[in-house]
Structure 1
Amino acid sequence: MKTNTLMLVALVLSATQLFAQVKIGDNPNTINANSLLELESTDKGFLPPRVALNSLTSSAPLTAAVAEGTLVYSDGGTLVDGYYYWNGTRWIAVATNRNNHVLVKSVTDFPAAVAGVITLVAGVEYEINGTIVLADMINLNGCTVRGDDAANDKLVYTGAAEMFTGNKTGNIRYMSLIAASGSIFNIDAGSTAQNMIIQNCYFLGCNSIGTIANVGGTVFIATVAFFSNTNGITFQNDNNVVINNSLWDASNFNVYEKFIGTFNVIQILGGDRLAYAANTATALDISGITSLVAGSVKVVMFVGDGTYVNGSFTNPWEVEATGLNTEKDAVAGGNMYVTTAIQTVIGVMGVPVKILGTTTAVSLFRMTSPADNRLTYTGSQTRSFQVMCSLTATQPSSNKFFSFYIAKNGVILPESRQEVKLINSTDQGPVTLSCRVTLAPSDYIEVWVENETANTDLTVQTMNLSIQ
């Protein structure tokens, strides 16, 4: 009997290996022809291995090499409990249906338009699948509208107004946006604390990108490309505008990015602006800014024979971009020299006084010269400067010792002192001053002199002061 049983088991195992199919559960003799393993039950479930996953990029607690397609249920780890499969390099969560997600395969998957406006349902994500043609405008209402493939998931607006309208912002990602006769944006957030996020999108053949105004939070645009648009985008009275790695191709026309009104922060980082005169292209228009706390244009390439910037970068800006002059507090400086010598009256021996004379200031950047023999720093950040001064001086008497100084805000800097002995009235003594000085905005420097031996007056014949 025992021998017969062993033979039966061997036959079953041989049959299993031969047919390479296993059925577990109800109706064990009926198996789908395409299945390697089939489970069937009306009152039992499938229970996979349960492990505690703590990192998407680590296969632990599994050991050795984990094969692609390995399926586990994470329970008790730092990752959210649920099913995960290993794709060869990381764990991928098995997606579950969400009640706040709408797959948009036609315009009818959006809410019905009212008075020409489709108002999205707050808290819902709308995923664009394919090309969706719109005759009505969209009120984002704080929602996310995204595609999965920016080249093939498209919103096409056929009207003459704007694709996105109203006083609500949202999140737009991974799509192509097209408005041949109208604009993409006409959003006025009313200075409320909203954010507008635009990422990984193409803007193609639009009459205008439009206007985003009065956003009380941040307008964030990243990894966006613009092709064949007639007019660009206008930002007006937005709190913060951050633009990272955007491309304006040579096929665009007129003004690309325009800023009007008051802003807290404007940051333009990375990307390219290809502007050509044949398209009357202006890459950046800042002429309408009335107030700005901090601005930055860095690591951007400006290329072409069009206009790169309309307007002037004021003190709050820091500019380091290919095609533009570097403008930041770190390169503030200038020169000043005497054009008409005037006798400096020494009232009291041993008391320094400011040197007199008519001076001219040149090559000033974030410096002004509001008075003779004065350079005032007008940058926005406190910084250290190197000051150099060369001068010659005469006096009417004999054997007099004079000390010369750099003065900051009317106070001499002792470390800058240089002494010279003038022997007679024909002796024109040369002096060189050098020191470092830290200046805050509105601080100023001058050159002063002190007679150490008498109250004899002195005349500075030549002087050249440089600060960098």
Structure 2
Amino acid sequence: MVTTRTSQNTKIILLLFFYFLTFIGNAQVGIGTTNPNTSSVLDISSTTHGMLAPRMTTAQRNAIVTPADALLVYDTDVKSFYYYNATTAAWTILSGGTPSRANFKRIKAGDNLAVVLAPELAAGGGAKYVLTANTLYEINGQVVFNLPIDLNNAYLDGLDANEDIIVKTSGVLFDGTTGGSIRNLTITTPGATVFNLNAAASTSTFLLRDTVIANSNNIGLISGYGLVFLSIVNFSGNTNGITYNNIGQLLLSNQAWFSNNGGTYEKFTGTFNLIEKQGGFSNVASGAFGLDVSTPGLTISGDAVLESVVFTGPTPANYVRPYPASSTTYTGYNFNNSWTVRAAGIPTEADANAVGDFAIDYAVNNVGINVPLNNSTPSNIVKVGISSGTAPTTIYSNLFRFTTDATSAGYNRLVYAGKKKRIFQITGTISIQVPGAGIFLAYVTKNGTPLTQYKNYGRSTISGDIINLSLQATAELNTGDYIEVAVQRNSGATGTVSVPTLAITVK
């Protein structure tokens, strides 16, 4: 028996010996094929299975001790193949893969926030979650926060605003003095406030876009930022709206305010360099207000634009709470001269629409305003005002971004109050009752200087004639420039002319 077993073992050893000799000689192995490719050490062939590389997390990959050059693994965190490059002593992702973010954290529905956000909770002293600056936090599903979030210049993002939801039921959700970014989320705070953001630095920025804010007790306050940009934000079912305060540049693009909101939807207070609210709509519910600019002291140091926003609702008077009457506003309008407003549902307000007119009129046979002309030929050009005679019955109307001078020196003065330089057309008529036969002229003047290229002549033949002259001119006006009317005797009778009627329009 011993002899037989020894003989069999010898045969097996010999077979293995010859197999390895063959392998060494050919340097080729075929799996799934009897004819491996001559250029390959190992040729694996299959039409039903694949080759499975070692699979591991990023941490496990980085923990490999002294990896060989060209070592290949599949990273399950990044979902990509990596190979080790001994020259650079680093793992390199294969072409087409996406390297993982070092500054990334995912927060899923059902997560224990005290564990997932343990460093953030520690940074907030256990009272709030202070996010790590320049880090992307992905919200996955519905996450209920028990403490406020301090954005701290981090990025809070979801993949689908309908599915990725942040909830807080008391207190304040976002509370802090820094900037940050919020995108692609639904935010709901029943019984709570969404924002209490008071930037400590005027250079801070805050971005909110592609987001739904719904069913919140109070949207809250955003204040003190250098730049605030809200784009494509849907507001629905909120009890109270939002206040913007002391912001350098405020950009509001395509905001949707539905009629199931309450309170004041949007309120501006303090000082802004720039406000631009463009697109979207405000469907103002009964008892609510759409846009509030009524707080005393609201100042625009640069410009404010309200463009292509649609205001609707049962009470048009509540679409806009206007500036106080003391803030250079105009009857029937809502804003001051810092604003350019072109929005459906409310009056258009812009320097391009500036207009001013007035008329002075005396009873028939009344001498009217007396204007003494000297005996020179021609006489000096004299402004039509109250040099003597009865004060005029002056009717000013349609003053929009124009004012009048209340002093006796300015009874026919129209002052441009807009912010932008523009060219105006000036038209009107003047009636002059003359002391005798002669030729008389009328002028439009700018800042006291006659626009002589637009003078108009009239001739009288007897004393007491009334000459009717047209007034036409074009003038470029800056803020504070003013328009008046003047007359002159070219030749003929000297003395005093009276002006029974004068009407002029600048637009």
8 Å contact 1:335–1:364 — kept in the other structure? yes
1:66 is matched with which residue? none
2:239 is matched with which residue? 230
- Using the size of structure 2 for normalisation, the TM-score is 0.75
1:172 Cα deviation from its structure 2 partner: 0.5
1:207 is matched with which residue? 217
1:101 is matched with which residue? 104
SS in 1 for 2:444: strand
2:456 is matched with which residue? 418
Which amino acid in 2 is paired with 1:198?
L
SS in 2 for 1:345: strand
2:403 is matched with which residue? 368
2:299 is matched with which residue? 291
2:250 is matched with which residue? 241
The counterpart of 2:385, out of the listed 327, 340, 356, is 356
The counterpart of 1:323, out of the listed 345, 358, 362, is 345
1:44 Cα deviation from its structure 2 partner: 4.6
Which amino acid in 1 is paired with 2:489?
N
1:441 Cα deviation from its structure 2 partner: 0.3
1:175 is matched with which residue? 185
- Using the size of structure 1 for normalisation, the TM-score is 0.81
Which amino acid in 1 is paired with 2:483?
I
**CA shift in 2, pair 1:32/1:189, >3 Å:** farther
The counterpart of 1:343, out of the listed 350, 355, 370, is 370
SS in 2 for 1:201: strand
Separation (CA, whole Å) in 2 of partners of 1:407 and 1:192: 46
1:125 Cα deviation from its structure 2 partner: 1.0
8 Å contact 2:93–2:99 — kept in the other structure? no
Which amino acid in 2 is paired with 1:356?
G
The aligned runs of 1:430-441 (5 Å cut-off) are: 430-441=468-479
SS in 1 for 2:159: coil
1:31 Cα deviation from its structure 2 partner: 6.1
8 Å contact 1:117–1:138 — kept in the other structure? yes
2:444 is matched with which residue? 406
1:197 Cα deviation from its structure 2 partner: 0.5
Which amino acid in 1 is paired with 2:488?
E
Q: Tell whether 2:170 aligns with 1:186.
A: no
Separation (CA, whole Å) in 2 of partners of 1:456 and 1:185: 74
8 Å contact 2:202–2:248 — kept in the other structure? no
The counterpart of 1:253, out of the listed 262, 265, 268, is 262
8 Å contact 2:187–2:212 — kept in the other structure? yes
Separation (CA, whole Å) in 2 of partners of 1:193 and 1:401: 66
The counterpart of 1:379, out of the listed 418, 426, 429, is 418
Separation (CA, whole Å) in 2 of partners of 1:409 and 1:416: 15
8 Å contact 1:31–1:38 — kept in the other structure? no
Q: Tell whether 2:278 aligns with 1:269.
A: yes
Separation (CA, whole Å) in 1 of partners of 2:433 and 2:46: 113
**CA shift in 2, pair 1:39/1:120, >3 Å:** closer
**CA shift in 2, pair 1:26/1:162, >3 Å:** farther
The aligned runs of 1:80-159 (5 Å cut-off) are: 94-105=97-108, 106=111, 107=113, 108-110=115-117, 111-112=120-121, 114-159=125-170
* CA-atom RMSD in angstroms: 2.9
Separation (CA, whole Å) in 2 of partners of 1:163 and 1:178: 9
Separation (CA, whole Å) in 2 of partners of 1:251 and 1:32: 60
8 Å contact 1:261–1:291 — kept in the other structure? yes
Deviation digits for residues 34-59 of structure 1 (CA, Å, limit 9, x no counterpart):
33x7779x97568xxxxxxxxxxxxx
Q: List structure 1 segments (4+ residues) > 3 angstroms apart after TM superposition.
A: 24-34, 37-40, 42-46, 81-85
Tell me whether 404-413 or 303-312 shows the greater mean CA deviation. 303-312
Separation (CA, whole Å) in 2 of partners of 1:82 and 1:430: 89
The counterpart of 2:49, out of the listed 34, 41, 46, is 34
Q: What are structure 1's unaligned runs of at least 5 residues?
A: 1-12, 17-21, 47-70, 72-80, 86-93
Separation (CA, whole Å) in 2 of partners of 1:455 and 1:203: 77
SS in 2 for 1:127: strand
Q: Tell whether 2:480 aligns with 1:442.
A: yes
8 Å contact 1:25–1:39 — kept in the other structure? no
Q: Percent identity?
A: 29
Q: What are structure 2's unaligned runs of at least 5 residues?
A: 1-29, 55-67, 73-80, 82-91, 324-334, 363-367, 387-391
1:253 Cα deviation from its structure 2 partner: 0.5
8 Å contact 1:296–1:319 — kept in the other structure? yes
8 Å contact 2:140–2:159 — kept in the other structure? yes
Separation (CA, whole Å) in 2 of partners of 1:43 and 1:437: 80
Which amino acid in 2 is paired with 1:242?
L
2:15 is matched with which residue? none
Deviation digits for residues 238-259 of structure 1 (CA, Å, limit 9, x no counterpart):
1111100110011101100111
SS in 2 for 1:223: strand
**CA shift in 2, pair 1:214/1:400, >3 Å:** same
The aligned runs of 1:17-96 (5 Å cut-off) are: 28=43, 33-35=48-50, 44=70, 94-96=97-99
The structure having more radius of gyration, on CA atoms, is: 2
8 Å contact 2:471–2:504 — kept in the other structure? no
Deviation digits for residues 117-164 of structure 1 (CA, Å, limit 9, x no counterpart):
1111122110111110011001111111111111110110122x2101
The counterpart of 1:396, out of the listed 431, 435, 438, is 435
